[in-house]
């Protein structure tokens, strides 16, 4: 570590949003293979609050061991401050974005004025959008892309024995549950981009934006359980996931697929196998190459980023309190000096 300091949001114990402390922290020192980024915006994601509360939802033996204090966060957009001597392709002054070191619990350290990023996980920021929109994209958009289009990595799958395989979407009918959230609003657009007919499930207040993003049909789950009305689907992307994801098996045609983004708690009673339905998930991984590919789609507006709200970095606690209220439309972003 260098002797220089920066402002960061750290936790010294697990707990509620109250544990988030805006304080001085050591500025990261550049290591070989890394780029130092001066951060302008930080996208917040569910893993941020899972880590903040100590992964309480996981069985104790799965909970990662960490050393306090921890700087939360993975997703950044900013400007290259410096590059290690072995780096080619990036130089000081470049505008960049990244999902930093995911999945490495507590090592991403994005809620800060400066972040060191492995060059392999960095991409040039899409020129057509600002830092706030760019910071909102990486984890959520990579999740949608890796589930639905291309896995992009060969890491072993901790969630299942076989690697996750996306399914062809052209001409298919895809339902996206939790369609207004971070992953969901991108999943709607990715499915549409790849030629699918898209049914979006969210609460009624999100209908206008989701139709605007390309949804062909909309189900307001507060009025109608989607599993009661949707039938003959080829794919369900359940961006909510969890124990209730099995209810979507009845909506799928034989040979269809159910992709729960959060698969923990799903108990397969044999119904999926009986109906030849593939239930599959993956854990998103950092990829500068995929972010470079996606930057072109973000740059020209093919894929749009919806912002729920923004907060200065010093107000990270309020941002987490907003997240806890739920019904997020798009993404919550922290800003640094913007």
Region 55-72 average pLDDT = 88
CA distance 74 to 286: 10
Give the pLDDT band (50/70/90) at residue 2.
low
Does the pLDDT value for residue 16 go beyond 60? yes
Note the pLDDT tens digit of each residue in 148-202. 999 999 988 888 999 999 999 999 999 999 999 999 999 999 999 999 999 999 9
- The whole-angstrom separation of Cα 324 and Cα 49 is 9
Instruction: State the pTM of this model.
Output: 0.96
**For residues 194 and 235, what is the distance between their CA atoms, to the nearest angstrom?**
13
Distances (CA, A) of 78 to 71, 94, 234, 235, 327: 17, 8, 39, 36, 28
């Amino acid at each position: 570590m260098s002797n220089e300091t920066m402002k960061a949001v750290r936790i010294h114990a697990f707990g509620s949003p109250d544990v988030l402390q805006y304080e001085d922290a050591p500025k990261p020192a550049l290591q070989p293979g890394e780029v130092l980024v001066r951060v302008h915006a930080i996208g917040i994601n569910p893993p941020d609050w899972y880590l903040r509360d100590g992964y309480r939802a996981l069985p104790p033996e799965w909970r990662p061991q960490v050393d306090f204090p921890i700087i939360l966060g993975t997703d950044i957009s900013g400007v290259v401050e410096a590059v290690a001597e072995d780096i080619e392709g990036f130089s000081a002054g470049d505008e960049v974005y990244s999902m930093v070191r995911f999945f490495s619990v507590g090592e991403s350290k994005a809620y800060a004025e400066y972040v060191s990023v492995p060059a392999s996980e960095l991409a040039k920021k899409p020129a057509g959008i600002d830092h706030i929109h760019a910071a909102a994209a990486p984890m959520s958009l990579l999740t949608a892309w890796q589930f639905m289009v291309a896995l992009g990595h060969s890491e072993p799958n901790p969630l299942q024995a076989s690697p996750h395989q996306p399914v062809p979407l052209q001409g298919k009918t895809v339902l996206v549950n939790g369609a207004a959230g971070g992953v969901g609003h991108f999943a709607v657009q990715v499915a549409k981009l790849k030629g699918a007919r898209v049914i979006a499930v969210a609460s009624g207040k999100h209908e206008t934006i989701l139709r605007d993003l390309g949804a062909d049909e909309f189900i307001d789950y507060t009025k109608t359980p989607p599993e009661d009305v949707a039938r003959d689907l080829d794919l369900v992307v359940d961006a909510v996931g969890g124990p209730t994801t099995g209810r979507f098996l009845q909506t799928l045609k034989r040979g269809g697929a159910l992709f729960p983004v959060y698969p923990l708690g799903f108990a397969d009673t044999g119904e999926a196998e009986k109906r030849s339905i593939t239930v599959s998930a993956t854990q998103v991984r950092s990829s500068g190459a995929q972010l470079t590919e996606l930057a072109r789609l973000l740059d020209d507006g093919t894929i749009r980023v919806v912002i729920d709200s923004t907060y200065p970095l010093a107000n990270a606690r309020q941002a987490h309190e907003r997240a806890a209220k739920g019904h997020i439309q798009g993404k919550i972003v922290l800003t640094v000096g913007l």
